[in-house]
Structure 1
């Protein structure tokens, strides 16, 4: 018997990649066909990339005309996703030659739950962020009950919250700081999405017990639907042959082991021009060898970066797994966090928005794999070049005992996660949900 899955991601790199990677271990003889719904823009971007053989793409119109508009008006982008995607996806479902046995949708798409319920199709929601962030949002009412929301984070951000199930002691800034001073729309959208989660049939978490056991167990106890961690959802590690190595890999090959600081602040949200200028000046002033991913700003920044390497794009997992990379200056988006941990690379945390402050807290305090470059109470403050230079210099000093401890911890956790991935192929998980779940 064949199975048909319709996958509906949120139209962003950090959401599309994990959902697409969920199907990586499926092969054609599993008897599973996946219709993967993307916007026209993403269809073009994904066309040249390898994809699982069981996946075919179906496209819908873009919700906004350009990436610039998405980044400049994030609440507007969220609203467009929640309104303009619905009718085109409905039309795709109407036109399928065989009805789906299962819809797997991004956990932020509340309308996908309604759509599946209306059509009597089981819905599995894939939560694209950390389980810790999900449990924090699920228990948000406790912050309100205890007088911790709304608050002025400039005055009370350092206050610690001890009562949220699934979270260790956490500051208010780590929970709320990623939503900025005007957190009303984005935060309310998060909360609405989570309120719809129990109306789905299954909740899939892109994590492992080895990383977030406390949060996973808390969610299992709170939700009446089945909650299951499905792994890191990263592409397989496959080094390119020597004759196909990109220039940045050849550059890394010429550097000493653990000597390069890899810098990437995500693929969607931006730091300010002033802050990027301070980061570049600080890195140059530190004397540390670094590789910076700067997307559209790459050409402009190359001259300012001196001997540092600046690229528009790279295979991040391939870079992080390179022996010369000894640190990762990251915005702490969940996919980047998972990639860095899998490769055992310590972090300099520089969160920008949403769940990233909470992820940074886990990196530093719970996994003990990083230092803070941006403190959790300073989301809207510019970190200056002298501070950046001093921290980067110390962070990349392999003779420092603290750095040695971080790198050892990274190697240990990386080994645990790699062994776990081998033991739990994702194809078994997908088939279990299609057959109405028996994960024993």
Structure 2
């Protein structure tokens, strides 16, 4: 096989089937393809179905789409080599994955890998004699199987981490947290954690929710244990973070595994992507926002996955009423649960008519980049934080689960670009109103806006042609080419496997 074939990259990419993971994975696929990497992008069939249902009909399907619709057709029309396929996640299409969360997770833990294995094998074999055989597997860090499948098909394994490096390194060092009694311990230690490589110190209350839990035998915990054992066998890790924001953490991770900080991974020009990836139909709020003064509107969204209580929604609603601030509030129908759809105060929508808009979903990039938006009440999902910083929109933090508590620590304590929604465990409408007004106007607001503009400059510089993220991205591709070329026996394996398939 010619040397040029060794250096041509063809990566299979598999997105974790949650909205917050799909978005950066799609943007990474486009970014890689724009550098000449061939991508075969895989969605689960339920995610494909939900996106198809929530968006206008896609262009006619290509031969690579498994079940109709190819979200990357527009990207291919612009010259990018991105193929598309779907895979069964092991459950029926109509199964309510939100309502039956644990069953869904059990399926991802035990069943999903067999379907992925079958599809990856089919793609690898079909491309063996092409000019661009498959060379890499880029899979979300939370999957439990990538290293096994990558090894089986002799692919370089890239673990894609969609959250901050701080969260990655805490999970990576679960053994240290366990050994020191800050995880899986009856002692419930409350002293500061200062022994994790690359982390100066962190309070136990700022750990991810799963590391604060008393029940550590849940299906999500079992996924975490297995996923991070698998990640330690990856060839490289790519992080959606910024070198300058987490220098010590990334440096320490690099001692364990080649780690590349290439964030923030945004669509070109920070405009709505040409690739459909929203799981819900999007309402257009921009015309209403056009009628509002600069920086006067609070945007509220708790993301695509986390649930909260009816009590919290009620207190936030009453706090909004008291604050007098204009707002756009994204309330997913299943924000409390798939079965409880009546959770706002009686008459709330009539009482806020003219100064408030409630929608089930929207294009967050369109809304948050609008000049009328002056603040963001957020669950602290990592995508939301990066987008908010890029638009210089300060944050009110209301973490609900998983990495969001640790992200809040970065936002409020380290970077000082946001405030907490509630300082105690229980939300009150009085505190909600006070925090909203503090963020939207006054001395605290001015200081936070000053800090977030500095942080925006850091992100902007990192993405510049000579910035750290761009350099790291280019280096990642070059190092990946070397790893592909050095993969032991790759040419022999490809030749022998191709021969056996034609026997």
- Does 2:371 align with 1:330? no
Q: Alignment partner of 1:353: what SS?
A: coil
Match of 1:166 in 2: 198
CA distance in 1, matches of 2:387, 2:447: 20
CA distance in 1, matches of 2:306, 2:324: 27
1:85 to 102, 105, 112: 112
CA distance in 1, matches of 2:238, 2:31: 17
CA distance in 1, matches of 2:478, 2:241: 18
Match of 1:285 in 2: 322
Contact 1:205/1:227 (<8 A) preserved:
yes
Q: Deviations over 1:133-167 (max 9, x none)?
A: 111122222222223233579x755x422222222
1:139 to 173, 179, 191: 173
Query: How much has 1:352 moved relative to structure 2?
Result: 0.8
Match of 2:37 in 1: 32
Farther off after superposition, 326-335 or 85-94: 85-94
Farther off after superposition, 51-60 or 200-209: 51-60
Contact 2:395/2:418 (<8 A) preserved:
yes
Contact 2:17/2:44 (<8 A) preserved:
yes
Structure 2 portions without partners, runs of 5+? 59-70, 128-132, 273-281, 336-340, 485-503
- Does 2:462 align with 1:420? yes
- Does 2:437 align with 1:403? no
Query: How much has 1:180 moved relative to structure 2?
Result: 4.1
Match of 2:481 in 1: 435
Listed as ranges, the matches of 1:306-325 within 5 Å are 306-307=352-353, 308-325=356-373
Farther off after superposition, 290-299 or 259-268: 290-299
Q: State the structure with more CA Rg.
A: 2
Q: Deviations over 1:294-330 (max 9, x none)?
A: 1226996595242311112111122212111111111
Match of 1:228 in 2: 260
Q: Alignment partner of 2:285: what SS?
A: helix
Match of 2:130 in 1: none
Contact 2:289/2:372 (<8 A) preserved:
yes
Contact 1:209/1:216 (<8 A) preserved:
yes
| Distance verdict in 2 for CA 1:198–1:26, change over 3 Å | closer
Listed as ranges, the matches of 1:174-213 within 5 Å are 174-177=206-209, 180-185=213-218, 186-213=220-247
Listed as ranges, the matches of 1:99-178 within 5 Å are 99-150=133-184, 159-177=191-209
Match of 1:255 in 2: 292
Match of 1:42 in 2: 47
Match of 2:489 in 1: none
Structure 1 portions without partners, runs of 5+? none
Contact 2:367/2:373 (<8 A) preserved:
yes
Query: How much has 1:63 moved relative to structure 2?
Result: 4.1
- Does 2:372 align with 1:339? no
Match of 1:366 in 2: 414
| Distance verdict in 2 for CA 1:183–1:273, change over 3 Å | farther
Pairwise CA RMSD of aligned residues?
A: 2.8
CA distance in 2, matches of 1:246, 1:84: 35
| Distance verdict in 2 for CA 1:233–1:239, change over 3 Å | closer
CA distance in 1, matches of 2:317, 2:367: 20
| Distance verdict in 2 for CA 1:138–1:246, change over 3 Å | closer
Farther off after superposition, 192-201 or 18-27: 18-27
CA distance in 1, matches of 2:431, 2:94: 32
Match of 1:384 in 2: 428
Q: Alignment partner of 1:210: what SS?
A: coil
Query: How much has 1:44 moved relative to structure 2?
Result: 3.0
Q: Alignment partner of 2:300: what SS?
A: strand
CA distance in 1, matches of 2:185, 2:328: 38
| Distance verdict in 2 for CA 1:279–1:124, change over 3 Å | same
For normalisation by structure 1, the TM-score amounts to 0.87
| Distance verdict in 2 for CA 1:183–1:277, change over 3 Å | farther
1:269 to 263, 288, 306: 306
CA distance in 1, matches of 2:40, 2:481: 18
| Distance verdict in 2 for CA 1:44–1:55, change over 3 Å | farther
